[in-house]
Homo-oligomer: A and B are copies of this chain.
Amino acid sequence: MKLGAIEAGGTKFVCAIGDEEGSIFEKIVIPTEAPEITMPKVYEFFKGKGIERMGVGSFGPIDLNEKAGTYGQIQKTPKIDWIGFPLADSLSEKLGVPVTVDTDVNVAALSESRWGNATDVDTCLYITVGTGIGAGAVVNGQTLKGLSHPEMGHIGVRRHEEDSFSGACPYHQDCLEGMASGPAIEARWGKAGVELSEDPRVWEIEAHYLAQALVNYIYIISPERIIMGGGVMQQTHLFDLIRKKVVEMLNGYVSSPRLTEENINEYIVPPGLTNEAGVKGALGLAMK
């Protein structure tokens, strides 16, 4: 069966045609401009290619409530041209196929669970730490959503005792994203993270916030693996700092051999997929 897949990002739409094995036959990249400029190019690419279903991993916020009449519609976003745009319905009407949408991070989690670093488990969490912080999860083969999509990047965190930075989130000030996103690092230290690789204070504080978040995700969802991606995680020395703090903070409370000092390396890991992770995950969505 031929399937359509779109990774709809803030700067580009990656559109692909593939199959249920995750193979991709044809791919195109279209810049994200206003919907009336971008979307006709998207329809054009897919038209007449014989796809039977489509999956879309989209920037957001996007309505994921299948019971709402506004399923697959872009909600309030800084990209004002897109507010209210019915992404799922318009694709479905123009191409005559059922369209499933999900958040970009849920799609990344799905991609890792099918083809990446979480193929051996049933429940995994993917977190991206970059311009923003977002996370998605797969539970028993399905992405986690309910009332709406989760917004795991905005949970409350406790301040590091040496950190007086007020926080960069416009909604919550010092939530996780407000304290630990790329822009938060830059605002706190006056330089981008990439220029601060050698300063241990920066990463001690960064790891403090990210480890807290992971511990809360473990207490609340109990994923069998956590995958950390995004620009900030390119500072690969962060992984060991985070792993160490997670074990310390859990303080032996959750009995699992995966959460010990010896095994935590295989529990908190980088993504297994790099190229095509987004479109492959969107293919995964189309399969359901």
Q: List residues of A whose CB falls within 8 A of some B CB.
A: 61, 65, 75-76, 121-123, 139-140, 142, 144-152, 154-158, 171-172, 212, 215-224, 251-256, 258-259
Contacts and interface: CB of A to CB of B under 8 A. Distances in A.
Q: What 4 A-B pairs have minimum CB-CB distances, sorted nearest first?
A: A123-B146, A146-B222, A151-B219, A171-B253
Number of copies: 2
A241 to B, nearest CB: 18
A139 B122 CA distance: 14
Contact of A154 (B65, B140, B147, B253): B253
Contact of A256 (B148, B152, B258, B259): B148
B255 A147 contact: no
Contacts of A149: 222
A267 to B, nearest CB: 8
A122 B146 contact: yes
Contacts of A121: 146
Given A140-B142, A150-B221, 8 more contacts: A76-B255, A140-B140, A146-B223, A147-B256, A152-B220, A156-B157, A171-B251, A221-B221
Contacts of A253: 151, 154, 171-172
A221 B144 contact: yes
